[in-house]
Amino acid sequence: MDALPTGFMDFFKTVPDHRVERRKRYPVEEILFLTLCGLLAGCEGWNDIEFYGRTKLEYLRKYFPFKSGIPSDDTLRRFFRVLDPKKFENCFFLWVKSFQSELAEKIIAIDGKACRGSFDTDTRPLHLVSAFVSETGISLGQVKVDDKTNEIKAVPVLLDMLDLTGATVTIDAMGCQVGIAEKVLEKGANYIFSLKGNQGALHDSVQRFFERKLPKIKRKRFTKENNGHGRHEKRKCTVVDDIEWLRERHPRWNTVKSIIEIESTRGERGKVTEEKRYYVTSHSADPKKLLAAVRMHWGIENRLHWVLDVCFGEDDSRIRKGNAPQNIALVKKAALNMMQIAKAAHPRVSFKRMRKAAGWDDQFLDCLLKGHF
């Protein structure tokens, strides 16, 4: 058998086995490895993974014995339904930390997403909050939003799992909470939070301040323009750090150092649209740096959530029972991380094509699994 380099399986083989000893025909590492390979190769459900394993048994035995052959779709289904997702996620965090340990100066975007196809007659769709490194496209981990709460409770749990020293955490308006701001600073990081209606008074104060254009207040500005695909985009970032008035009016937000207004103008086919958005941050006033950070936040939508939907069919997945939706979502993130590493060397190869190539070409799959090209 070929040996996998220190990596994914070294961390995930420690997943506690919940099964009865006398019924363990298939070791944990074989089930996880089969599932990972199947998802990398384009499988969309338990039946696909079983069929893939039967057609690729000789290849899979390069890495693990598979003495009992390939587990059935029912075996896979039962295993992931009962697997403890918190312990599984802890293994994922440790694995990612082994190759993405340095987060200083990085933008860590945090956002939630509902897996729409995961609902059942007696359950709501699975909702996960994920952390994402905007510069590298690596998913750092996920936390489930409890059915009886919302993202506000899940975000601090996710933050506690990460070493964020020196990083900048970006969160949309849902996460704009005093407690979350304090948690970010406690972890040695800075924050940039979007302002909207859920912080109505704070949002209105910041908006009115920028609209008044007081002449004695010093503003720092940076403007960036882009042209492409028939569009002209202009973004003007204005930052103010003379905000003693804000601390007096909103004393609970005493960690805010600067307030931001981003004015976006977009022209396409003769139509011009304008939008203004507002943010608070623990960073000092640096409009160029802050504009870049705000723009990078949306990478979690475009490079994580969108890819999981379009390439992995996450919203269409019919995996619904028990812990299986949460666990399989994590394996998909692991597969996507492997493809992100490959994409750094091959930026013109799409994720969809990578999955096809992994199913067609065992050597290509080897490269994804071993983290090199």
Matching residue, tokens 């003495």: 67
Residue 32 in any domain: the answer is yes
Q: What is the pLDDT of residues 323-367, one digit of tens each?
A: 999 999 999 999 999 999 988 888 889 999 999 999 999 999 999
Q: What pLDDT score does 194 carry?
A: 96
Query: Based on the domain organization, do 119 and 264 belong to the same domain?
Result: yes
303, 318, 343: which is the final residue of a domain? 303
Q: What pLDDT score does 150 carry?
A: 81
Query: Based on the domain organization, do 162 and 59 belong to the same domain?
Result: no
Q: What pLDDT score does 227 carry?
A: 84
Q: What pLDDT score does 5 carry?
A: 47
Contact 54, 81 (CB under 8 A): no
How many Cβ atoms sit within 10 Å of the Cβ of residue 119?
14
State mean pLDDT over 74-78: 95
State mean pLDDT over 296-304: 94
Q: What is the pLDDT of residues 230-255, one digit of tens each?
A: 788 899 999 999 999 999 999 999 99
State mean pLDDT over 298-307: 94
Q: What pLDDT score does 2 carry?
A: 63
Query: Based on the domain organization, do 56 and 173 belong to the same domain?
Result: no
Is the pLDDT reported for residue 118 higher than 60?
Answer: no
Query: Based on the domain organization, do 187 and 67 belong to the same domain?
Result: no
Q: What is the pLDDT of residues 250-282, one digit of tens each?
A: 999 999 999 999 999 988 877 888 999 999 999
Q: Output the six-digit token pair for 90.
A: 């802890």
Distances (CA, A) of 328 to 267, 292, 331, 338, 342: 41, 33, 5, 15, 21
Q: What pLDDT score does 276 carry?
A: 94
Residue 68 in any domain: the answer is yes
Query: Based on the domain organization, do 208 and 290 belong to the same domain?
Result: yes
Query: Based on the domain organization, do 297 and 365 belong to the same domain?
Result: no
Helices (H), 101-173: 151-160
Query: What percentage of residues in the chain have a pLDDT greater than 70?
Result: 93
Mean pLDDT over all residues of the chain? Answer: 90
End-to-end CA distance of the chain: 21
Query: By CB neighbour count within 10 A (0-12 exposed, 13-18 middle, 19+ buried), where does 366 fall?
Result: middle
Residue 266 in any domain: the answer is yes
Q: Output the six-digit token pair for 180.
A: 């979350």
Residue 315 in any domain: the answer is no
Query: Based on the domain organization, do 242 and 196 belong to the same domain?
Result: yes
Q: How confident is the model at residue 58 (pLDDT cuts 50, 70, 90)?
A: very high
Alpha carbons 254 and 346: distance in angstroms, whole number: 45
State mean pLDDT over 313-321: 84
Query: Based on the domain organization, do 35 and 58 belong to the same domain?
Result: yes
Cα angle vertex 248, ends 288, 261, to 5°?
25
How many Cβ atoms sit within 10 Å of the Cβ of residue 285?
20
Contact 18, 80 (CB under 8 A): no
- Helix H or strand E segment including 333: helix 324-345
Residue 254 in any domain: the answer is yes
How many Cβ atoms sit within 10 Å of the Cβ of residue 149?
10
Residue 2 in any domain: the answer is no
Number of domains in the chain: 2
Cα angle vertex 306, ends 304, 311, to 5°?
95
Q: What pLDDT score does 86 carry?
A: 92
State mean pLDDT over 12-26: 75
Q: Output the six-digit token pair for 303.
A: 């490079």
State mean pLDDT over 135-164: 90
Query: Based on the domain organization, do 279 and 152 belong to the same domain?
Result: yes
Residue 321 in any domain: the answer is no
Residue 31 in any domain: the answer is yes
Q: What pLDDT score does 373 carry?
A: 41
Q: What pLDDT score does 34 carry?
A: 97
Contact 189, 168 (CB under 8 A): yes
Query: Based on the domain organization, do 150 and 231 belong to the same domain?
Result: yes
Q: What is the pLDDT of residues 168-208, one digit of tens each?
A: 999 998 899 999 999 999 999 999 999 987 677 999 999 99
Alpha carbons 259 and 235: distance in angstroms, whole number: 16
Q: What pLDDT score does 119 carry?
A: 59
| Host domain of residue 147 | 95-303
Query: Based on the domain organization, do 78 and 172 belong to the same domain?
Result: no
Query: Based on the domain organization, do 142 and 49 belong to the same domain?
Result: no
Which is higher by pLDDT, 228 or 281? 281
Q: How confident is the model at residue 3 (pLDDT cuts 50, 70, 90)?
A: low
State mean pLDDT over 288-310: 95
